[in-house]
Amino acid sequence: MIPTSKRLARTLIAAGAVAVMPAMAHAESPKTDVLSLSASATAEVTRDLLQLRFSTTREGKEAAAVQNELKQALDAALTEARKIAKPGQVELQAGNLSVYPRYSQARPGSGGSPQITGWQGSVELLVQGRDMDAISRLSGRIQTLSIANVSYGLSREAREKAEGEVVSQAIASYKARAAAYAQQFGYLGFRIGEVSVNSDQPSPVMMAAAPRFKAMAVADEALPVESGKATVTVNVSGNVVMTK
């Protein structure tokens, strides 16, 4: 016969197990008062960065001669560009200088391999910055390279300033939507849960170099500049807990 004390202990353990089960089931049940939400705000900002990519090609019988001509063309362009270089306003970057062989086509059935008939190479120079007026005038003074393309962008300072102005709008919109939805669902209010704030990076706008851009070196004219506007967007997303 089982003693009374042991029977009582087993009874209490069984009762405790029964009491824990509904509590666990309640903890695992999904919350029905959490609302996923997102909001955004945008602003249009004038692009304040101009980038010109200059380039040229040379070809000849000897690789060293082609390379030397490319270096001379780049050096002459850098001499002009350095006159307006200024940290934060006009930055220079020598691009790729490459020289590669040209091959003849082997005659069908001859069994021979293609032969090197000459060499061809190219070189680039990037000029970019916020002083658009100085950079546009430089385009007419560089004689040894042609403009390959033109692109406009937004500086980090201009982007961060725009983000600072629109982030408060995005957050205010997020809160307003949270309050409106909570009311429509029959709740009295809400509290902010996990939230993330991020911004879209405006992509630079590139323009192919028109023939008239390439002729400006001869005409010694400044490049016409029309940067246009970039859109800065701040996104706020997360969840809010609706409260009774």
Q: Is residue 67 part of a domain?
A: yes
Q: Show the domain range for 145.
A: 49-104+113-154+203-228
What local confidence, expressed as pLDDT, does residue 61 receive?
94
Q: Is residue 183 part of a domain?
A: no
Question: pTM score, two decimals?
Answer: 0.69
Strands 229-243, 189-199: pairing is antiparallel
Helix (H) or strand (E) segment spanning residue 24:
helix 4-28
In angstroms, the first-to-last Cα distance of the chain is 56
What local confidence, expressed as pLDDT, does residue 98 receive?
94
Comparing C-alpha atoms, which of 144, 146, 148 is closest to residue 73?
144
- Give the C-alpha distances (Å, rounded to integers) separating 239 from 133, 181, 215: 47, 12, 58
Burial 183-220 (b: 16+ CB within 10 A, else e): eeeebeebeeeeeeeebeebeeeeeebeeebeebbeee
What local confidence, expressed as pLDDT, does residue 31 receive?
57
Comparing C-alpha atoms, which of 89, 242, 81, 86 is closest to residue 177?
242
* Span 85-114, pLDDT tens digits: 999 899 999 988 999 999 987 665 555 677
* Span 142-197, pLDDT tens digits: 999 999 999 999 999 999 999 999 999 999 999 999 999 999 999 999 999 999 99
Q: Is the pLDDT of residue 11 over 60?
A: no
Q: Is residue 126 part of a domain?
A: yes
Encoded tokens for 92: 């220079």
Are the CB atoms for 50 and 155 separated by under 8 Å?
A: no
Percent of the chain, pLDDT > 70? Answer: 77
Residue 142, domain CATH: 3.30.70.360
Q: Is residue 187 part of a domain?
A: no
What local confidence, expressed as pLDDT, does residue 108 receive?
58
Q: Is residue 163 part of a domain?
A: no
d(CA 115, CA 138): 42
* Span 60-78, pLDDT tens digits: 999 999 999 999 999 999 9
d(CA 172, CA 177): 9
Looking at the DSSP assignment, which residues form a beta bridge with residue 199? Answer: 234
Are the CB atoms for 227 and 217 separated by under 8 Å?
A: no
Q: Is residue 5 part of a domain?
A: no
DSSP 140: T
50's CB contacts (< 8 A; 6+ apart) are 128, 129, 130, 132, 135, 136, 150, 151, 152, 225, 227
d(CA 201, CA 211): 31
Q: Is the pLDDT of residue 201 over 90?
A: no
What local confidence, expressed as pLDDT, does residue 179 receive?
95
Q: Is the pLDDT of residue 22 over 70?
A: no
Domain count of the fold of the chain = 1
Q: Is residue 198 part of a domain?
A: no
Q: Is residue 233 part of a domain?
A: no
Pick the residue with more confidence: 239 or 25? 239
